[in-house]
Homo-oligomer: A and B are copies of this chain.
Amino acid sequence: MSSKPEPLFQPLARDALSQQIARMLTDAIVSGKLKPGDRVAESVIAREFGVSRAPVREAARLLESTGLLVSHANRGFFVRTIDAEDLDSLYELRLCIEREAAARVVREGKVAGIIDRLRAQIEDMVGMSEENQLILQIGVDLQFHRLIVESSGNKRFVAAFDKLASEIQACTAMIETVFDEPGLVARNHYLIIDALLSGDQDEARAALDYHIGVARETVVGRFRKLEAEEAAKR
C-alpha cells in the first residue's frame, strides 16, 4: 500500500450548518438575489434548506454582525437597506483603514512580497471587465484591496475591512454597469501599485485617497440618483 495514500476524497464540508447557511445567504445578498429591505424569515429559510430554525437563526445573527442583515425585535431579519449617506460613511471608514494600511505596507517594506499577486489580480479584473462579469470583477477588486490591508500585518484592519467589504460589494452589485469604460477602473489600480513601489508613505496614502475617492463619488453619486428617482416616484 502507498505510505501516503493519495486522498481519494476531499474532507466534506463539515463546518456547522449555520456557517454554510451564512455563506449561502451572503452570496444571495451580495449577488443581489436578495434585495435591501427583503424579509428574511427564519422559518422560510429553514424550510427551504430543510433544517431547523436554530442554525438559520445563528447564520442570521452572524450576518447581522457583518451588517448585511438587520433585526427588529420580535419581527425578524431584513436585508439591510442602505442610503447614500450611509454608503458615504462606509467609504470614509474604508479610506481611513486602507490608507493607513498602505502606509504601513510601505513603511515596513512589504511591497515586494505582494506585488506579483497584486498585478495578477489587476489582470483578472481587466479580463472580467471585458467579459462584462461585473459582479466577479467587484469581488477581485476587493480582493486586491484586501491583500494590501492584509499585508499591513494589522489583523484589526483586516477584520474591519472584511466587514465593510461585504457591504460595499452588495451595494456596488446593486447598481449595474457603474463604470464608463471597460477595463478603465481595473487598470487604474496600476496607479496604486506605482505609489506603493515609490516607497513613499504619503504617496501611497494619496494614491488610495484618490482611488477610493473616485469609487466613492461614483457609487455614492449613483446611489443618490437612485434615491432621487425613488423619491420622485411617490
Contact = CB atoms under 8 A, between A and B. Distances in A.
Given A154-B89, A160-B160, A97 B96 contact: yes
Interface in A27-73: 54, 57-58, 61-62, 64-65, 73
A93 interface: yes
Chain A interface secondary structure, helix, strand, loop or mixed?
helix
A156 B156 CA distance: 15
Given A16-B73, A61-B61, A62-B61, A155 B100 contact: no
Contact of A157 (B16, B58, B93, B157): B93
A15 B74 CA distance: 10
B61 A156 contact: no
- The size class of the interface chain A forms with chain B is 20 to 34
A65 B97 CA distance: 19
27 contacts: A15-B73, A58-B61, A61-B61, A61-B62, A62-B65, A64-B65, A65-B65, A86-B156, A89-B154, A89-B155, A89-B156, A89-B157, A90-B156, A92-B100, A92-B154, A92-B156, A92-B157, A93-B97, A93-B154, A93-B156, A93-B157, A93-B160, A96-B96, A96-B97, A96-B100, A156-B164, A160-B160
Interface in A155-177: 155-157, 160, 164
A66 to B, nearest CB: 8
A90 B158 CA distance: 11
A92 B107 CA distance: 15
A92 B157 CA distance: 9
Nearest to A87: B156
Contacts of A16: 73
Interface in A115-172: 154-157, 160, 164
A61 B71 CA distance: 14
Contacts of A58: 57, 61
Contacts of A160: 93, 160
A57 B16 CA distance: 14
A131 B157 CA distance: 37
Nearest to A67: B159
Contacts of A54: 54
